Amino acid sequence: MNSCLLEWEAEASSGDIGDIALPRAARNAKRIGEKFCETIQKLVAAGLNLSSTKFIGFSLGAPLFGYTGRKCKELKIILPIIFGLDPIRALHGDGILSFPQLCSSAAALVVNIHTNPGRIGTSQTCADIDVMVNCDDPVQPWCHDASGSTGGSTFRSQEDMCSHDFSYVMFGKVMQDNQLMIARSANSCERWTNQGPTINLGIHIDTEVRGKVFLRTSAVSPYGLGAAGANPN
């Protein structure tokens, strides 16, 4: 599998002032996301098979690819699939100063994986498939002692940072084994049962199921529980 990294660390950085710089970073996400569509046009013209291309965005990178997908749609280019790894909550939802979230309109299939909903990550469920990891718990089992965290800040707890980061940690695992994490369709955490259609997470994700899906994980690597993780208990 070939990979391409969109490097925008400088434009996304908040430096020492943390979330205060988020409006600037969010504006940069729009500018870069829409500009990236021009790159996709050139790659397709040069022979890129877009149908086998996956776009993966973490945190603010998720709505960035939303801009890419919507801009490309204007140019009659449909991105096949975008994975949003715990899409950022701040400034992306309801409010006076608000930017659009990564939602189903951005691609043929949009999959958002929620590991810190309502905290650093959004609790908005507007993708084709919204994966709720460990129900609606914003703190993941691996993170209750924050041992897996990249560090907290003045604005964010270590538990939240760890849980936010867990989205790309778990996605890295399912890229290697799409039998590792299996989720089950349900309308809500409270209505999640042992019955209903399941979906295997990963790069080659099932595409039949739509809406919210739920799964449990372990607190230790490789975190997945296989078919057992699709059941609430």
Q: Tell me, yes or no, whether 1 lies in a domain.
A: no
Mean pLDDT by 10 residues, the chain (233 residues): 81 61 87 96 95 94 97 97 95 73 97 96 96 93 69 68 96 93 96 95 87 96 96 93
Cα separation, 128 vs 92, in Å, equals 18
Alpha helices in the chain (DSSP H): 9-12, 22-45, 61-74, 158-176
State the total domains in the chain: 1
Is the Cβ–Cβ distance between 124 and 153 less than 8 Å? no
Q: Tell me, yes or no, whether 4 lies in a domain.
A: no
Q: Tell me, yes or no, whether 111 lies in a domain.
A: yes
| pLDDT at res. 13 | 73
| pLDDT at res. 14 | 60
Q: Tell me, yes or no, whether 2 lies in a domain.
A: no
Domain of 141, in residue numbers:
9-230
| CATH number of 170's domain | 3.40.50.1820
Is the Cβ–Cβ distance between 101 and 119 less than 8 Å? no
Q: Tell me, yes or no, whether 3 lies in a domain.
A: no
| pLDDT at res. 150 | 47
176 contacts: CB under 8 Å, gap ≥ 6:
none
| pLDDT at res. 42 | 96
Q: Tell me, yes or no, whether 97 lies in a domain.
A: yes
Q: Tell me, yes or no, whether 204 lies in a domain.
A: yes
Cα separation, 166 vs 170, in Å, equals 6
Is the Cβ–Cβ distance between 75 and 37 less than 8 Å? yes
Q: Tell me, yes or no, whether 62 lies in a domain.
A: yes
Cα separation, 167 vs 160, in Å, equals 12
Instruction: Tell me the pTM.
Output: 0.91
| pLDDT at res. 17 | 45
| pLDDT at res. 23 | 85
State whether the Cα torsion 209-177-148-5 is positive or negative.
Answer: negative
